[in-house]
Structures are given as structure tokens and as C-alpha cells.
Amino acid sequence: MSFFLAFVFLFPLSLFIFKKLSPSNRTLPPGPTDLPIIGNFHQLENFLHKSLHNLSLEHGPMMLLHFGVVPVVVFSSREAARTHDLETCGRPKLVTTKLFSYNFKDIGFAQHGEDWREMKKLVGLELFSPKKQKVFKYIREEESDFLVKKLTNSSQTETLVDLGKVLFSFTAGIIFRLAFGHNFRECSFIDMERVEEMVIESETNVGTLAITDFFPTALGWLIDRISGKHSRLNKGFEKLNNLFQHVIDDHLKNAKPEDQSDLVSAMLDIINKPTKSGSFNITHDHLKGVMSFIAFFVLDSPHYFNWSLPDGMTIADIDMDEIGALNIAKKVPLELVPTRHHL
């Protein structure tokens, strides 16, 4: 046991010393001096983007950092990124993104290449094309009508409204019907409160980094398991995966001939059709990867915004006047302005 622990902690240090002593013919970008094992972590503060910006002012628009033992090149200008377009068009392969994208088989975290282009084309045709938007217009109208009625009822009963939950329910109502082919208000295995919790939990997991990403050795593996990171990731993933599997099983159980009205149906139809040798093969992991992408980047879009009153307007402008025993609403339209979260 003592030998194992000594190996775990001394191996990264020996790698660092070996790297420093070994001659290198490569021309590397400039960057701040890194420390053994931790790299440049000591120079990063709570707000990562601000820390990187401050470092770039000193070391230039392209700089080399070390996150743990992993070298990272940071581009902080559009011009520098364009110069290295092919090197910057992909996303890093991280533990969390690999898990929740089903081994990079979605369109958000997939590596740039032919497979990514085929998946992007498929999702564009089946979900975002003008033809599909026209066909699914009635869904948007029905969900908008339901939203207005819900807000009207809350107004008449003077019930407080959690705008974030209402907008999430509105977005989810449209997306579940367009992409997954299910109306969650009529579906027994979909509970919108639970879905929102799962999406937020999964998004939080994807947004955090595992120690294994920076210490791809026994040390990172050990710390992630002791800290509970590995367990939390897998539990969150299983919840989301079970939801996707329910949707797929329901499609397979109630499949209708030539029914490709939603994205899941269209992709299942492609999966079940024989493909030519050497052509791009779509699997169930590709399907779940796309469903995961939709859950993260489309379903959760209302949570990326704060909702505020227009400039110059206050709550007093839209509140009601009390005259005697009567409440009189002011003739001012309620307008809410979406603004991006500033992390």
C-alpha cells in the first residue's frame, strides 16, 4: 500500500522533472511559469475568464498554460484563433463531456470532422429547417396559448409566478413535442419538475471539471473517487439516460409506419435501415447524444437569462393603483427584457 501511494504522488513529479530536463525542438507559445504538479492553477481566480484575460494582457493573445500536468493553449483574440482555425474548431475531450455526450457522439462536443458534419446536417433538417418549422407551427401556437392562459389564471387569482419555471415549461413543452414526440402533460413517465431538476443537475456536472482531466494518472483517478465526483457524475448521467431510454422505448412500442414526425422517430428510422459499407452509421448512442445536446442547450435556454424591466421602468409603473376598495391596473404593458448571465 505504501509503495502504491508513493507511486501515485511521485510519478507526476518525476514526469515534470523529466519534461523540464528533456530538450525540445518545438517552438511553444509564451506563458507564465508553471509550478510542479499544479501547473498554473495558482494563477487562476474564481472567475476563469477574467484570470485568462489578465494573463493574456501580459503574455499575448496566444499563451501556453499548464492545468495540472496537461498543457493548454489559450487564444484570447479572434485573429489568433483564425490563424490556427483547424486546431481551435474542436472542443477538449473531458471526462464529463465524454460521459454526457455518449463518447462525443452529439453535435455539441463531437470532434470536428465528417461525423460531426453529418450529425449537424441531420439535426438541421429534422428540427430546424424551414419546412419543419412550418409543419410544427401549430405546436408553438398551442404551447403559446397554454402559456398565456396559465399567466392569465395566475393574474386573476393573484398567484405569484416563478417566471423561470414557467418559461422552462413553455420551452420544454415545445421541444418535447418537436424533438421527442411527447406532450409531457399527457405522458406518464415525464414529470416536468423532475426533468428541470435533472437538466440543471446534469448541466452543473458538465460544467465542472474532474481532477482526472488535469492529472490523467492514478492520482486523478483516486481523488475523483474519494471526493465523490465520479459517483455524482454517474448518478446524474443514469437519471438522464433513463429518461432518454423511456422516450426511445415508447417510440419503438408505439411505432407507426413511415412516422418521422419528430427527431427521435426520424433517427430511429435511419438506425433501423441498412446502410452501405463505409458510410456514416448512426447508432443509439448518436441518438441519445443528440437528445442530451437538446436537453442542455435548448431546454435549459431560459436559465441563461435574467429577466428585467426595460430601462427607466420601475415596479411602481406597472403596479396597481388602489382607489377606495378597487384595484385599478395601470395601462402600461408588462415588458421583460432578457439579459445574459454574467458569470
**Confidence (pLDDT) at 326:** 54
Residue extents of the structural domains in the chain:
24-89, 114-305
pLDDT at 333: 57
Residues of the chain with pLDDT under 70: 1-26, 255-260, 274-279, 298-310, 312-313, 315-343
- Asked whether the beta carbons of 212 and 184 are under 8 A apart, the reply is no
Are 95 and 104 contacting, i.e. CB atoms less than 8 angstroms apart?
A: no
**Helices and strands: H and E segment counts in the chain:** 16, 6
Please answer whether residues 36 and 16 qualify as being in contact, where contact means their C-beta atoms are separated by less than 8 angstroms: yes
Homologous superfamily, domain 114-305: Cytochrome P450 (1.10.630.10)
Looking at residue 237, its pLDDT comes to 92
Q: Could you tell me which of 111, 109, 94 has the C-alpha nearest to residue 224?
A: 94
Residue 226 is predicted with a pLDDT of: 92
Pairing of strands 326-329, 62-67: unpaired
Say if CB 265 and CB 253 are below 8 A apart.
no
Instruction: Give Cβ neighbours of residue 115 (< 8 Å, ≥ 6 apart).
Output: 105, 280
C-alpha distances (whole Å) from 154 to each of 40, 55, 148, 160 are 52, 50, 10, 7
